[in-house]
Amino acid sequence: MYAPERRHQILDALTGSGRVTVTDLAAQFEVATETIRRDLDQLADRGLLARVHGGAVTRHPGEVEPDLEARRITNIDAKRRLALAAARLLPADPHAAVLLDAGTTTGELLPHLDGRRGPVITNAPAIAQGALRHTDLAVHVLPGRVRPATEAAVGATTVDAIRLLHPEIAFLGCNGLGPEGFTTPDPDEAAVKTAMVRSAERRVVLADSSKFGVTRLVTFAALAEVDVLVTDAPPAPELHALLLEAGVEVICA
């Protein structure tokens, strides 16, 4: 059986049950588990399912991510304002390590890294390439499989590499923010974001107000696990109260 036909049948099985496992699919199609993992990864990259540990689940229609090119030309002014406000949180020590999550908003921080000397670590090859223009920086690219939808390195290799790091500050993006915490549609990206949150001394999320009240598939950080939220408008009173109760500083750019 050719790969496209196998993947079509995987989607059919997922439609019927809502969940599939790598081991069951490998037995069904009489192929190696690595072959099934590659199938699931490619289907996830196309937005047709959501990867979870050991298999995959149905992706909710509302969780489809806009492609990176669309996000690069959306809300540019707001993203730049958020980045300018977030840049004021950079450590005073120019040698302090900075961790940048993949994303078009975090990427807007690059112009504000002039004059820094410490390592800049990212899971986004495009951000790393941009950081190389600042010749004094030591640029580190995290390993892993690069998702076409977001051009972010993800996977166990990425998570393991982050766990060994202890940057002074991490700047992250999110797709949703509510009482359940900070959320994102893709489980693999969520795992990377969670590792970033847990590795950094200070955690800053950049999120415009369109993310308020939105819930995506996976929570990567509880409210109390983030130190600062940089946004473009005050959250609704209920959400603002929850953020303050959790100890999150809210900065409106």
For residue 28 the two structure tokens come to: 């069904």
Lowest mean pLDDT segment, chosen from 12-21, 202-211, 238-247: 12-21
pLDDT bracket for residue 33 (50, 70, 90): very high
Output the CA angle 112-162-143, nearest 5 degrees.
85
pLDDT at residue 121 tops 60: yes
Check whether residue 32 and residue 78 sit in a common domain: no
DSSP 92-141: SSTTS-EEE-SSHHHHTTGGGGTT--SEEEES-HHHHHHHTTSTTSEEEE
CA 131 to chain centre: 19
* Contact predicate 134/113, CB 8 Å: yes
Residues 37 and 99 in one domain: no
What pLDDT digit, counting tens, does each position of 155-198 carry? 999 999 999 999 999 999 999 999 999 999 999 999 999 999 99
Residue 73 and residue 116 in one domain: yes
Q: Based on the structure, what is the number of domains in the chain?
A: 2
Per DSSP, helices labelled H in the chain are: 3-17, 22-29, 33-45, 68-72, 76-87, 104-107, 125-131, 156-163, 187-199, 237-245
Q: What is the rounded end-to-end Cα distance, in angstroms, of the chain?
A: 54
Q: How far is CA 110 from CA 15, 83, 92, 106, 129, in A?
A: 42, 9, 16, 8, 10
Residue 87 confidence (pLDDT): 97
81 in a structural domain: yes
Give the range of the structural domain holding residue 242, as residue numbers without chain letter.
Answer: 69-252
The edge-to-edge listing of strands for the beta sheet with 249-252 is 138-141, 119-122, 98-100, 169-173, 202-206, 228-231, 249-252
Looking at residue 47, its pLDDT comes to 73
Residue located via tokens 């990176």: 68
Long-range Cβ contacts of 144-147 (<8 Å, 24+ apart): 144/192, 145/41, 145/188, 147/44, 147/45, 147/186, 147/188, 147/189
User: Is 162 a member of any domain?
Assistant: yes
What's the pLDDT score for residue 60? Answer: 57
Q: Is residue 240's pLDDT more than 60?
A: yes
Residue 103 tokens read as 């994303």
Say if 24 falls within a structural domain: yes
pTM of the predicted model, to two decimals?
A: 0.74
Taking only the tens place, the pLDDT of each residue in 38-90 is 999 888 887 788 888 889 887 654 555 555 555 555 567 889 999 999 999 99
pLDDT at 12: 85
Tell me the angle at which helices 187-199 and 156-163 cross, rounded to the nearest 10 degrees. 10
Q: Is residue 213 part of a domain?
A: yes
Q: What is the largest CA-CA distance in the chain?
A: 59
86: in domain: yes
**Better-scored residue on pLDDT, 13 or 167:** 167
Q: Could you tell me if 28 and 145 lie in one domain? A: no
Q: Are residues 90 and 212 in the same domain?
A: yes
Give the residue, 17 or 34, on which the prediction is more confident: 34
